[in-house]
Structure 1
Amino acid sequence: MRSLVLKKDEDRRIRAGHLWVFSNEVDTKKTPLTDFAPGEEATLLDARGKALGSLCVNPASLICGRLHSKRPGIPLDESLLRERLAAALAAREQYFSEPWYRLCHGEGDYLPGLVIDRYGAHLTLQLGTAAMEARRELIVRALEELVHPASLRFDSDIPARGLEGLSRLPESSGPVPEFLEVPENGCRFTVAAAQGQKTGWFYDQRANRREFARYAKGADVLDIFSYVGGFGVTAAAHGARSVTFLDASEPALALSRRNMAANAPGVPVETMLGDAFQRLGELAEAGRRFSLISLDPPAFIKRRKDAAQGVAAYRKINLLAAGLLAPGGVLATSSCSHHLDGAELGRSIAHASAKLGRPARLLYTGAQGPDHPVHVAMPETAYLKCRIVRFD
């Protein structure tokens, strides 16, 4: 195993536990990145030659190295993959009694670049790095031994693969079902296996949807960026009076209607197709009001350089949503952008409160669920924020 050498003083973050090495931190005079093949293993050294651990290298990526061990000379081989996946599985089985969860969450499970969602007998995988792509067969063998999946789908249409120079064409193994059924919080959701967003379902919001339902009894609910209805359907099943879904995808709205019929058949349902900013403005002009609103947008800040524009978008959408609340109404607002911290989300809520002249009280602070573990030395892995607020 060859070595990759860091520049002077570029080892501090790694010593603190972080797993990423950036290309501008490497001493390319001593160890040119171009000498490494994508996915190749190496021992990471500081500028004095002291070993910091083992990593996989991709010279084509800004994040040119991702550590998988704090010990030198450790290959990312089938044995280590099986060991880490077995540990991830054991952790999930402590939390959940049924096999519907995120089975592997990249750095949070010490397998950088690997995401696996489990839907009973089906698995959806994201191989986000050249290292994981090169070990595809080893990963599949380990999963077949551990969980015996009936089918696997590789969700390759993710930006990370583009940054790593990998193909974004989807692949599958076994008879992948057209639809999957996900049990959660007393409901059963139908999601599209191949055509859905991301890996099909957002397990990370499970606990926040359960908390949202606490305020559902007798409520008129608006579910913004609803996807297949996770928040709205859960509220309906827990006593909501009506639910309106707003999303830019008609197939997603069709599944929202299907999930409402399956879980809360007597509750009136309305779907709205279109851009959320525009449709929320139309609802305000029409004088519509809701007593319970979920706002769960996609990441408005995908890159740090887009932070200012993204913060403005979060403030605008939160103001629009809060403006539709009836007196005493409750807003659950979320952000899945790791570039927006919890304090900034709080400022978006405070901005809406001040603009509307309505005092607001924080009722709940939530994050991603335990099947999306946070690596304590990597704030990037703590991406999901949820705040539930009452506007008086």
Structure 2
Amino acid sequence: MEKIRLRVKKIPRVEIGHLWIFSNELETVPKLEPGSIVEVLTSEGKSLGLAFYNPHSLIALRLLKLTIVDDVLRSIKYRILRAKLLREKIFPNENCYRLVYAESDCLPGLIIDRFADYFVVQVNSAGMEKFIDTIPKIITELYPNCKGIIAKNVTHFRKLEGLENYEKVLFGQIPEEVVVTESGVKYILNFYQAQKTGLFLDQKLNKRFIRRISSNLKVLDCYSNFGGFGLNAALGGAREVTLVDISDTALGYARRNFELNGLKNGNFVCMDALDFLRQEFNQNRKYDLVVLDPPSFTKSKKNVQSAIAGYHQINKFAMRIISDNGFLATASCSMHIDEPTFLHIIEEVAYSQRITLKLIYRGGQAPDHPILLSMPETRYLKFFVFQISKG
């Protein structure tokens, strides 16, 4: 087995459990096949175990927490089983959840989402790509009723790994549409047209909170996609819900999801969310609750400042159209915008608008997206609900 040596005798973050080692931390960058399994040594020759190696990626090594190469496949199966048991403990009566969350489950670059009897696999590391044909066999062993598995390998992260993007059915059949239920809400899913892996499962508990506070409110759901927050607001008793998304296809599914759940109080607007917020402000329209759940505004550190400006804009116009004592629910899924930075943005906007904010709910990604404390990168979702006072 090839051995790769580090430039130093220890890397403090790795010592406490971080699983990535970067290319500039290696003594040399050998020309091995991307995804090769190698043994990692410190500069003094101490073994740190095995890792997936990619000479073309900034994340050159993804530690596997293993010492014997023959254990890799067996370990993948065991760790998927362990992930399954955790999700069943967290959500015992549900069948829509993130089954595997990459490094947090010690499965570098592997994401698996379950939607009842269908599964979506996403691979974001060259090492795990080598097991793409084995993973479906493991899933079907653990879930004998599985009807279909699809790979949705179309991500920014694959490009960083030098991997091609593609979608393909790995097992069984994936119908054009399926109906699934999450937290009592029915959704029509089209795995071929859905963003990312399907539903935004990371917002599961946050959507439930929106349902709890929506009774008799006039609600605006921006960046609504298939209507997750809007549906929960309507089922929570909102008197009116407006859903805004730039995708006419996504809005079409949101409209059908309202119908599927027997809801008739939805308005659907195909428009850029910021343009719609500006329009509502200019026309002096008011809402009791505005939900902002935009896509990531930056996928790299170099674009953080433009992302901050984007969050400033959407939150400023949202605050302007919220009635006194109304509510702002605002989220960021940008990994490079940490919680203190995001809160500071909201505070600055509130100060500029002479608005007082009362934090009533602090959320994040659902527990089926567990956070590895030694890897801040596994924590990405920030979600806050504020009551707004303009007096």
8 Å Cα contact 2:234/2:263 also seen in 1: no
What is residue 270 of structure 2 aligned with on the other side? 273
Measured in 2, the distance between the counterparts of 1:280 and 1:272 equals: 12
Note the residue ranges of structure 1 that are not aligned, 5 or more in a row.
Answer: none
2:77 to 54, 73, 82: 82
What is residue 325 of structure 1 aligned with on the other side? 322
Measured in 2, the distance between the counterparts of 1:75 and 1:293 equals: 53
1:344 to 341, 346, 351: 341
What is residue 164 of structure 1 aligned with on the other side? 161
What is residue 235 of structure 2 aligned with on the other side? 237
Measured in 2, the distance between the counterparts of 1:76 and 1:22 equals: 24
Measured in 1, the distance between the counterparts of 2:257 and 2:386 equals: 26
What is residue 2 of structure 1 aligned with on the other side? 2
Q: TM-score, normalised by structure 2?
A: 0.96
8 Å Cα contact 2:210/2:229 also seen in 1: yes
8 Å Cα contact 2:97/2:368 also seen in 1: yes
1:137 to 130, 133, 138: 133
8 Å Cα contact 1:21/1:64 also seen in 2: yes
Q: Greater shift after overlay, 351-360 or 218-227?
A: 351-360
Q: Residues 329 and 9 from structure 1, CA distance in 2 versus in 1: closer, same or farther, beyond 3 angstroms?
A: farther
Is 2:108 aligned against 1:112?
Answer: yes
> For 1:14-36, what per-residue CA distance to the aligned partner results, in whole angstroms no more than 9, with x for missing partners?
111100011111100xxx321x2
Instruction: Name the SS of the counterpart of 1:170 in structure 2.
Output: strand
Q: What is the deviation of 1:131?
A: 0.9
8 Å Cα contact 2:9/2:44 also seen in 1: no
8 Å Cα contact 1:128/1:161 also seen in 2: yes
> Structure 2: which amino acid aligns with 1:357?
R
Measured in 2, the distance between the counterparts of 1:274 and 1:266 equals: 21
- The 5 Å alignment of 1:244-263 reads 244-263=242-261
Measured in 2, the distance between the counterparts of 1:325 and 1:292 equals: 7
> Structure 1: which amino acid aligns with 2:253?
L
Measured in 2, the distance between the counterparts of 1:175 and 1:351 equals: 50
> For 1:257-283, what per-residue CA distance to the aligned partner results, in whole angstroms no more than 9, with x for missing partners?
11112224232x211112222121111
Note the residue ranges of structure 2 that are not aligned, 5 or more in a row.
Answer: none
Q: Greater shift after overlay, 191-200 or 346-355?
A: 346-355
Fraction of identical pairs, as percent? 36
CA RMSD of aligned residues (A): 1.3
8 Å Cα contact 1:55/1:68 also seen in 2: yes
What is residue 152 of structure 1 aligned with on the other side? 149
> Structure 1: which amino acid aligns with 2:75?
L
1:50 to 46, 53, 60: 46
Instruction: Name the SS of the counterpart of 1:155 in structure 2.
Output: strand
Instruction: Name the SS of the counterpart of 1:374 in structure 2.
Output: coil
Q: What is the deviation of 1:181?
A: 2.3
Measured in 2, the distance between the counterparts of 1:378 and 1:126 equals: 20
- The 5 Å alignment of 1:80-229 reads 80-96=75-91, 97-148=93-144, 149-173=146-170, 174-229=172-227
Measured in 1, the distance between the counterparts of 2:334 and 2:198 equals: 19
Q: TM-score, normalised by structure 1?
A: 0.96
